[in-house]
Structures are given as structure tokens and as C-alpha cells.
Structure 1
């Protein structure tokens, strides 16, 4: 019996991981505003539900950045709120350019979000599985 326990644990862990996964990808922005220091040094912070998923790299001096990072969250549930915060990285403090929030739904979706300070954030996400 003891020898089958690791296999059983592996199967159970695999099932819980496969139940529901959020994947955020294809993050890019257009027409980000400039400030007195110059062209925007943009990055995006990503949140889902009460969890911080991370942040992208900073794209220096680029009003139309594209980020290669992808974010995954295995505990996502349908109708969780995904929040994307677009920032301009500066020497003393970072400016918040805008916040995009959306309740996530199953399937693959592409969205455009108009930022409060100007510019548009484009992104795609996929929510797979059923975490009920």
C-alpha cells in the first residue's frame, strides 16, 4: 500500500492543477502618455482575486510597448476579478497610468482597456477548466 501512495498523490495533485487555470498573455499598449521626464517606461502589475500574479519587465522609452511575459494562476474561478495596473517607472516614484478590471469567463478572450491617463492596454486571457 505504501508504494501506491506517491502515485495517488501525484494523480490528485495533477487533478487539482488541471481543474482551472487562468493564462494571461499578449500584453501590449498603444499611445501611452509622456511625462516631463520623457516617454513612458511602462510595465504592468497583474492581480486575480486576492492574489498578486506578478509584474512585467519595464519597457523603457516606449509609448507602444509589448511584453513577452505570460501569467498563470491555477486557483482561478469563473467571475474572479482580474486587475491589470499599468505604471510608468520613474526615478522617485512610479505613476499609475490606469487600471483595467474584468470578471473572468471560461474560454479565450481578447480585450482593449482605455487607460485613465491615456493610451490603451490590449491583452488576451484563457480560462480553462471548472474549479467548482
Structure 2
């Protein structure tokens, strides 16, 4: 008795190849997602940002605000009018921050025309909750951050 091999049509071969391509594509996407997501990435919260002795132009008080960066994430605080010793109500929450990223705060004075740069504070983040004190030319900036990874 002779048994003939199964007959496969070009259509069934095309469907099989399409299925294999789909599974292979999903496998590649899942692998890329795992490579992209560092399991050590974590959230950071920056809060309780305040300053003392900020100087405005001439005899006026400044209208200060803060720009905050960590990794590729960034934010901007509210502008506090006529405040030499501001406490900003804003807090910043950034996700997927890598260990040893740099947290940077810049203080600016909102003025007519280009805003006036007042100074920068930077620190390399580490796990836990930390209160930082940063000396600018004639003023001081205080802020707290919490980082977990």
C-alpha cells in the first residue's frame, strides 16, 4: 500500500508563513520591550521647593519660578509674584528615572522681555528621601526629593 504525502496548497503555505511571521514579530516586540524597560527605573518626587533672599531688579522683589529636570523629564513651577522668600506649592513627579540621574533646578525671575536667570542647583539622585540646600550667588534654595527604584 502506497501512502502519498499530504498535499499542501500555495494558500495554506502562505497562511502558515503569515502565522509564523506574526509570532516572530510578537517575540521581537516583547524582547524589545524588556530591553527598553530597565527594572531599576523608578519614580522621583520633587517637593517643598523654597528659596530665601532672592533679589529682584533694582529695588523690586522678584517674580520667581523654578524649572526642574531629571533625566529627560522636566517641569515648571507656578510664578510667585513679588516674593523674595518664596515657597512654591508645586511638586513634580517623574517616572522611569534611572539611578544616578542628575536632578536640576533652575530659578528664574519672570520679567518683561527675556526672563532673568537667577541660578542652578544640581544633585545626583540616590534612593531615599533627601533635603538639599543649594547656595546661589546671594540666595539659598531648599528642596526635597524622594527616589525609589
User: What TM-score comes out, normalization by structure 2 length?
Assistant: 0.70
> How do 1:10-89 and structure 2 match up within 5 A?
20-36=42-58, 38-49=60-71, 51-89=72-110
**Distance change in 2, residues 1:19/1:77 (3 Å):** closer
Q: Is residue 95 of structure 1 aligned with residue 116 of structure 2? A: yes
Instruction: After TM superposition, give the deviation of residue 34 of structure 1 in Å.
Output: 2.2
**Aligned positions, number:** 114
Query: Over alpha carbons, which structure has the higher Rg?
Result: 2
Shift, 1:27, TM fit: 0.5
Would you tell me which structure has more strand in proportion to its own residues? 1
Following TM superposition, the consecutive aligned residue runs of length 4 or more in structure 1 with deviations greater than 6 angstroms are: none
- Say which structure is richer in helix: 2
The equivalent of 1:113 in structure 2 is 134
**Root-mean-square deviation (CA), in Å?**
2.2
CA offsets, 1:9-56, max 9 Å, x none? Answer: xxxxxxx8995110000001110012126111100000112x242110
Give the gaps of 5 or more residues in structure 1. 1-15
